[in-house]
Amino acid sequence: MSQPSDKWSSEAYSAAAGFVPKLTTTVLSYLAPKPTDKILDIGCGDGPLTAQIAASLPRGQILGLDASASFIQTAQDKNSSQNCNFKLQDCRRVAECAEAVDGSWDKVFSNAALHWILRDPSTRDAVFKDIHSALKPGGAFVFEMGGKGNVEAVHATILSVLVANGISLSTAREACPWFFPSNVWMTQQLQKSGFEVEKCELEYRPTKCTAKSADGSGGLEGWVKLMGAEMLNVVEENKRGDIVRQVCDVLETVVTREEDGSQFLNYVRLRAVARKI
């Protein structure tokens, strides 16, 4: 199983998609942390959201797992505390982390990470099995991720621009790093993995791009470069800037709002609360 290359850095993430750990009011209300909860955070990134949850666990603890060495280093430097710890772990194989799958966790949480982690169909069942093993009986798996139709304009445009530049459609699709399931798919997957599904919903949530920046790390351009990196990597490095420009040019009239020139990506969020039976 190949390791994801580490494209993440706190600076690039905050410039291109700083809203991701912030637009979490609903999923946090579903998590409803209790002061003594022991919570596992799957794909925790650089950890500000994990630390925010830790603040509501005065007698509990949270452990964040992520496959990005850069993010885990930042999380440990900036966001760890006595009840908030981080560990480098590819969450396609959570079972490698013995303390994570010991059946002692009250809740497993995840925000904006499972659509990356579940990309490879061959490792999906194991991800759900390991999360199930992590939880106490009756424990809750509470998450938000990209759902069916998420960022579909930008997704289709990157595919189309790659094809227009001589890449085969199958190569472009293969490089897509995301899996955006429907709530029907997710409900069935959770049920077959031993969970009782309390909620599984899709929300259409158009989301304003971050501010454009002179160095190209912000706005739509920054988003395409960071989130679409695996797809851009199918062309030679010296052509990637031009591909990003073509993608942004095509999207210009699709994502820009006439009233103020702001640009919005059509996020679709899939949120669920599932209980270990």
Does the protein bind ligand SAM through residue 113 (CB under 6 A)?
yes
Question: Which token pair is 46?
Answer: 């650089």
The region of 41-49, 157-165, 200-208, 209-217 touching ligand SAM under the rule CB under 6 A is 41-49
Q: Is 4 in the site for ligand SAM (CB under 6 A)?
A: yes
> Applying CB under 6 A, which part among 96-104, 108-116, 152-160, 166-174 lies near ligand SAM?
108-116
Say whether 131 sits in a helix, a strand or coil.
helix
Give the range of 54-62, 90-98, 149-157, 181-189 binding ligand SAM by CB under 6 A.
90-98
Residue whose CB is less far from ligand SAM, 116 or 195? 116
Q: Is residue 228 a contact residue for ligand SAM (CB under 6 A)? A: no
Return the sign of the alpha-carbon dihedral for residues 143, 148, 152, 154.
positive
Burial (0-12, 13-18, 19+ Cβ within 10 Å), 184: exposed
Q: What φ, ψ does residue 109 adopt, rounded to 5°?
A: -120, 150
Asked if 180 is part of the footprint of ligand SAM (rule: CB under 6 A), the reply reads no
| Backbone φ/ψ region at 112: left (φ over 0), alpha (ψ -120 to 50), beta | left
Interaction between residue 222 and ligand SAM (CB under 6 A):
no
Closest CB to ligand SAM among 64 and 139?
64
Please identify which residue in 27, 40, 75, 112 interacts with ligand SAM, judged by CB under 6 A.
Answer: 112
Say whether residue 45 binds ligand SAM (CB under 6 A).
yes
What sections of the chain are H helices per DSSP?
10-17, 25-31, 48-54, 69-78, 114-117, 124-134, 152-164, 169-175, 183-192, 219-227, 229-232, 237-255
Interface positions with ligand SAM (CB under 6 A): 4, 8, 20-21, 43-45, 49, 66-68, 71, 90-92, 111-113, 116-117
